[in-house]
Amino acid sequence: MIEAGSLIRSLSGRTAARNYHTYVINEIGSAIVAGRFPVGSVLASDTVMMETYGVSRTVLREALKTLEAKGLVEARPKVGTRVSPRSRWNYFDPQVLAWHFEAPPDPKFHASLFEVRAALEDLGVRHAARLRTAEQVRLLKYWAHQTASADENIEQFGLACLEVHAIIADASHNELVRSVVGVVELTLALALTRNGEEGARYRKARVAILEELVDAVEKGDTEAAALALGRASAADQERIASRS
C-alpha cells in the first residue's frame, strides 16, 4: 500500500525511499500494467528474476505474493507465475492505480475512472454536506486556500486538491467512499501533467470550483455541493482528454 499523495509528489521528481521489496513490486507491477508483461504470459523463472532485479529468493517470493494479493498474478504448479486477466486486478488498490500513470494512455480506462469517481463522490459529498463537522469545514477552507496560493507549484496545488477531496470523503461517514481517493489522485496527477498556459487556466478554474464546493458544504447545500464536485471532476476529465 502506498501513501496517499505519493503519486502527486512524484510529479515534481520527488520519490520516496524504497527497499528491495517495494522496488521489485514496482518494477513487475508497472510492467504488467503497461503491457510489457502481457496478460496470460508467464513470468521468467525465479533464478532469472533474482538476477534481473538483484534480489534474494525470499524478497522475490514476498514481492510476488504481494502482486498476487493485488490480483495481478497467480502462481500455478508446474506452470509458474502467470499474469492474471485484467478483470481480476484490484483497481481500488492505490498502487495498481498509480502504475496506470506511466502506462500508455487508455481513453476507455480513463472514462471508467470518471464514471466510478462521479458515482462515489456524488454520494459522498451529499452526505458530507449534511454531516460535516466544524473542524472539517475549517480544514476544507484551509486546503482550498492552499490551492489558491500554490501559484506554479504543481505539487502543492495537487496535494491541496487531494486533501479537499479526502476530507469530503471522510465527512461522508461512509468508509467505502474513502476508497475513491486513489481514483481522484490518479485523475488529478494525469490532469496536472503538461504545465503552461492551459495548465494555469485549468488550475485557476479548479480553485474557483473548490471555493464554491467548500461554501456549499459549509452551508449544508447538498445540491450545490454535488454540482460543484461534479464540475471539478469534469474539469479534470476535460484536461486529460486535451492532452491525450
Predicted confidence (pLDDT) per residue in 82-113, tens digit: 999 999 999 999 999 999 998 998 999 999 99
Report d(CA 114, CA 9) in Å as an integer: 22
Q: What angle do CA 113, 114, 120 make, to 5 degrees?
A: 95
Question: Is the per-residue pLDDT at 1 higher than 60?
Answer: no
Across 41-137, the runs of DSSP E, i.e. the strands, are 73-76, 80-83
Question: Is the per-residue pLDDT at 52 higher than 90?
Answer: yes
Report d(CA 217, CA 125) in Å as an integer: 8
For residue 20, the model assigns a pLDDT of 86
Question: Is the per-residue pLDDT at 24 higher than 80?
Answer: yes
Domains in the chain: ranges and CATH: 6-88 (1.10.10.10), 105-243 (1.20.120.530)
Question: Taking Cα atoms as reference points, which of 155, 158, 159, 29 lies closest to residue 103?
Answer: 29
Half-sphere exposure of 54 (CA within 13 A, CB side): 3
For residue 18, the model assigns a pLDDT of 62
For residue 17, the model assigns a pLDDT of 52
Question: Is the per-residue pLDDT at 243 higher than 90?
Answer: no
At a CB cut-off of 8 Å and minimum separation 6, what does 161 contact? 143, 147, 188, 206, 210
217-240 pLDDT tens trace: 999 999 999 999 999 999 999 999
* Cβ-contact 165, 183 below 8 angstroms: no
For residue 193, the model assigns a pLDDT of 87
pTM exceeding the 0.85 threshold for the entire prediction: yes
